[in-house]
Amino acid sequence: MSRIGKRTIPVPQGVTVSIDGQAVKAKGPKGEMEFVVNELCTVALEENEVAVKPVNNSKPARSMWGMSRTRIANLIDGVANEFTKSLELVGVGYRAQMKGSSLNLALGYSHDIDFPVPDGIKIATPKPTEIVVSGIDKQKVGQTAAVIRAFRPPEPYKGKGVKYADEYIFRKEGKKK
């Protein structure tokens, strides 16, 4: 039994959820999103909660059960209040700034990196060494933050690079004589 799948998803105030066959649509103050549930699961709207159940007790159906419930929960949470990921730039001369609809990064290379902001994502730079990625789609927010981090991942000796705000960098000791 899926411990995650068994729990129902509460629908917060200001969010409307509609189910049309296998398609679940959520509309809230931050936007509107849709997710098509796998045919191995059934979705039902009971009072002010969404319930996901497997069609049968097979291994693939049980695998899709928890995943579908989580995707629908993220969908509802995203349209109610956005997801955010914070990144920090550590290193001398490392900086970020928004230039129009692209993020300009100076990360110690011989050239600056211009990263075009994907649709549905907002990027803010409150400080030159801080980047805040936000949006209603949790997967897109995480993917965008991961792509920005991949331009210069943190290294273990001095910790220089782009890191998540809550990430711990395991430090290595330098070479000894």
Structure confidence by residue, pLDDT tens digits, 120-174: 999 999 999 999 999 999 999 999 999 999 999 999 999 999 999 999 999 999 8
pTM above 0.75, yes or no: yes
| Domain residue extents for the chain | 3-80, 83-164
How much is the pLDDT for 155?
94
pLDDT band at 5 (very low <50, low <70, confident <90, very high): confident
User: Residue 110: pLDDT above 70?
Assistant: yes
How much is the pLDDT for 33?
92
Quick one: average pLDDT of 82-89?
95
The domain over range 83-164 is classified in CATH as 3.40.50.11810? no
Question: What is the rounded distance in angstroms from the CA atom of residue 144 to the CA atom of residue 151?
Answer: 11
What is 3-80's CATH superfamily? Ribosomal protein L6 (3.90.930.12)
Residues 6 or more apart from 168 whose CB is under 8 A from it? none
How much is the pLDDT for 2?
64
Question: What is the rounded distance in angstroms from the CA atom of residue 164 to the CA atom of residue 38?
Answer: 32
Q: In the structure encoding, which two tokens stand for residue 106, read together? A: 């100076």
Mean pLDDT of the chain: 92
pLDDT band at 107 (very low <50, low <70, confident <90, very high): very high
Q: In the structure encoding, which two tokens stand for residue 154, read together? A: 């943190």
pLDDT, tens only, 49-80: 999 999 998 899 988 998 999 999 999 999 99
pLDDT, tens only, 21-52: 889 999 999 999 999 999 999 999 988 899 99
Quick one: average pLDDT of 15-25?
91
